[in-house]
Structure 1
């Protein structure tokens, strides 16, 4: 029985297909795949419907083990809090680089940021979303190399950021530095260079945080309406 027959016949998501596509792009950039083989595998990756169909596409590549996600949810390390920033620091990195050559890549959702992540874009673009990510260490370096391309890093509102990158007919966005951060958050440092390209930064709240704020606002409006109603009733009783 082959190893593929042991894989669960679970449906692959768009994110699963993109992770495999990123492994194939890395292999092309490193000379492990010829262009025709890369195009053939990439087409098969986007057609794949299950994990079992995706697995053979990266089996002979160094990063194949990181191409598919774990089926079981990741548990918190023993003795480590399950929530808060302390519970999100530590563990094995999900991936250590992203390459966009006349294409794009994205890392978002529940992934683990390594101590050092390298972003390379040439006539392409990449995005790192750190809002729901875990972190291998409390000090993270994101090295951005953008040549006639672009990169963007999305941070939560309370994360520390330092930008040291160099722009040559391009630039690094410093607008999100100096923002007050919550003690205990990871510190992110952007380095590298941009040549006819740009590296941008932005801060956004997670969907869960926005929902919580919306629910709190609705509750405040409800309490205000109730207070007005009670005030009207008290006035009416005094007039009777």
Structure 2
């Protein structure tokens, strides 16, 4: 029996593909798959056309824990996290006009890598990271002002890897390492 044109499965959306790429990269970063398996799975994820093929490409990867993602949003005002708090695997922060202050220096890290996605309009943001953290800001787009971040002279291995991505409108992002 031949399939009718209306019976074709819907194509994979860009969001589905991006989510799958991140899932494969996370599995590699956490040591669940080898470098060769990473390359093979990324190729499959980027070339599949249906959800069934995508599911097959992600088979045997650890399930994503829904509790590892958190989102904070505010139109205006302040967004502030400090003190001892559980740092999620992925944190999305959105603010149109307010200020953002994230103090991760006393945070409890259950994951070796943390993704922070910032979407800020005109507000500024400050992020304080642990002394031994590695910070990657390659995925961050700034519209008006540059990001202020200076890598520490001496760093100890073994700290969390913090990847910051997203967009900054007219605000400035300032990142600094905790002194102790």
User: What TM-score results when the alignment is normalised by the length of structure 2?
Assistant: 0.57
State the Cα deviation string for residues 9-58 of structure 1 (Å, max 9, x = none): xxxxxxxxxxxxxxxxxxxxxxxxxxxxxxxxxxxxxxxxxxxxxxxxxx
1:97 aligns with 2:71: yes
Q: Which has the larger radius of gyration?
A: 1
Indicate yes or no: 2:132 matched with 1:158.
yes
Alignment partners' CA distance in 1, 2:89 and 2:68: 11
In the alignment, structure 1 segments of 5+ residues that lack a partner are 1-90, 210-240
Per-residue CA deviations over 1:91-126 (Å, capped at 9, x if unaligned) read: 996871222322111111111111111111211011
Q: Is 1:112 paired with 2:86?
A: yes
Q: Looking at secondary structure, tell me which structure has more helix per residue.
A: 1
Partner of 2:147: 172
* 8 Å Cα contact 2:132-2:158 kept in structure 1: no
Cα 1:171–1:101 shift into 2, 3 Å: farther
Using a 3 Å threshold, how does the CA distance of structure 1 residues 95 and 108 change in structure 2: closer, same or farther? Answer: farther
Aligned to 1:129: 103
Give 1:1-240 correspondences, 5 Å limit: 96-164=70-138, 165-173=140-148, 175-177=149-151, 179-205=153-179, 209=180
Q: Which whole-Å CA distance do the structure 2 matches of 1:118 and 1:160 have between them? A: 19
More strand, by proportion: 2
Which structure is higher in RCO with an 8 Å CA cutoff and minimum separation 6? 2
After superposing on structure 2, the runs of 4+ consecutive aligned residues of structure 1 that deviate more than 3 Å are 91-95, 177-180
Q: Structure 2 unaligned runs (5+)?
A: 1-64
CA distance in 2, matches of 1:177, 1:116: 22
- In structure 2, the CA distance between the partners of 1:108 and 1:155, relative to structure 1 (3 Å rule), is same
Shift of 1:130: 0.7
- How many residues in Structure 1 have an aligned counterpart in Structure 2? 115
Contact 1:146/1:199 (CA < 8 Å) preserved in 2? Answer: no
